[in-house]
Amino acid sequence: MGSNQLYKGSLATIILKLLGEQGRMYGYQITQEVKAISEGEFVITEGALYPMLHKLEAQGLLSVETEMAGNRMRKYYSITPNGKKEVVNRMAELEDFIRHMQSLLNPKIDLA
Amino acid sequence: MGSNQLYKGSLATIILKLLGEQGRMYGYQITQEVKAISEGEFVITEGALYPMLHKLEAQGLLSVETEMAGNRMRKYYSITPNGKKEVVNRMAELEDFIRHMQSLLNPKIDLA
DNA sequence: TCCATTGCATAAGAATATTATGTATGTTTG
DNA sequence: CAAACATACATAATATTCTTATGCAATGGA
């Protein structure tokens, strides 16, 4: 991801959540969508993206359909039932993470 | 850190911010403090902690003083002027990260 | 025609973590 | 009093996840 070390570990969560909401997407589309939503801050490199998509597929969290758009190959990924369960866990972890980081790092600003 | 992948990449930020606020601390103390503040969620392993402390010292962001508490050695770490500057950057990055993660992953709940 | 973009993929290397050890002292508990 | 647990440092082997570099191939614009 960008110049920010903090992004490490969040790629799978981002992909799963996005596919859980947007329906099926292909790899390149994911990079563009994430970049747009994050105002150019989350730049997913191919070297990170494709191995992660393959891994999530191997874990049964995503499924794939290969299609041709003209002469161009696209591999559309969709979230599986197991993937949907995983998203719930991941989101809970994200909320915990954010909450704990804020209490650790912003002791003065306390969220109710 | 714990079972949560998201913690990856945040260790240096946690250490720097904590030392920036609490003054000097020794390694073991940092692990206990972080664990307490995060309600048991942030468990820093020794294999991650000590190499990171050495690295931050090598980068000139922390300084060390070795002292004896009875017969036990303690290495107290303090933040340097350069470390203080780095904390400012890290906190800005953390805020960006949290903001973008929220807009990406919680599109319905929009923070003002 | 050349360069940027779209679209996939992998390999080499760096960074950061876990797990497993090792050394040593102090404290608590059966 | 012995065993277990806590304190306190450290490193090595391994795993994970990332960046950077490279490769192939089609498309589209200057």
Task: Give the confidence band of B59 by pLDDT, cuts at 50, 70, 90.
Answer: very high
Nearest C-alpha in B relative to A3: B93
Q: What is the DSSP string of B29-94?
A: HHHHHHHHHTTT-----HHHHHHHHHHHHHTTSEEEEEEEETTEEEEEEEE-HHHHHHHHHHHHHH
Binned at pLDDT 50, 70 and 90, residue A107 comes out as low
Which tops the pLDDT comparison, A104 or B88? B88
Kindly determine whether the C-beta of residue B71 is less than 7 Å away from any atom of nucleic acid strand C.
yes
CB atoms within 10 A of CB A34: 21
Residue range A14-72, pLDDT digits in tens:
999 999 999 999 999 999 999 999 999 999 999 999 999 999 999 999 999 999 988 99
Q: What is the DSSP letter of A69?
A: E
Percent of chain B having pLDDT more than 70?
Answer: 93
Name the residue facing B4 among A39, A42, A97 (closest C-beta).
A97
A105 touches chain B (CB under 8 A): yes
Residue A6 has pLDDT above 90, yes or no: no
Nearest nucleotide by C1' position to the B66 CA atom? D9
User: Confidence class of residue B44 from pLDDT cuts 50, 70 and 90?
Assistant: very high
**Residue B48 — pLDDT band, cuts 50, 70, 90?**
very high
C-alpha B34 chain-centroid distance: 8
| pLDDT surpasses 70 at A92 | yes
Distance in angstroms (rounded) separating the CA atoms of residues A55 and A11: 12
CA-to-CA distance for B14 and B1, rounded, in angstroms?
12
Percent of chain B with pLDDT over 90: 76
pLDDT (mean) for B50-68: 97
pLDDT at A3: 66
- With cut-offs at 50, 70 and 90, classify the pLDDT of residue B109: very low
User: What's the CA–C1' distance between A105 and D13, in Å?
Assistant: 33
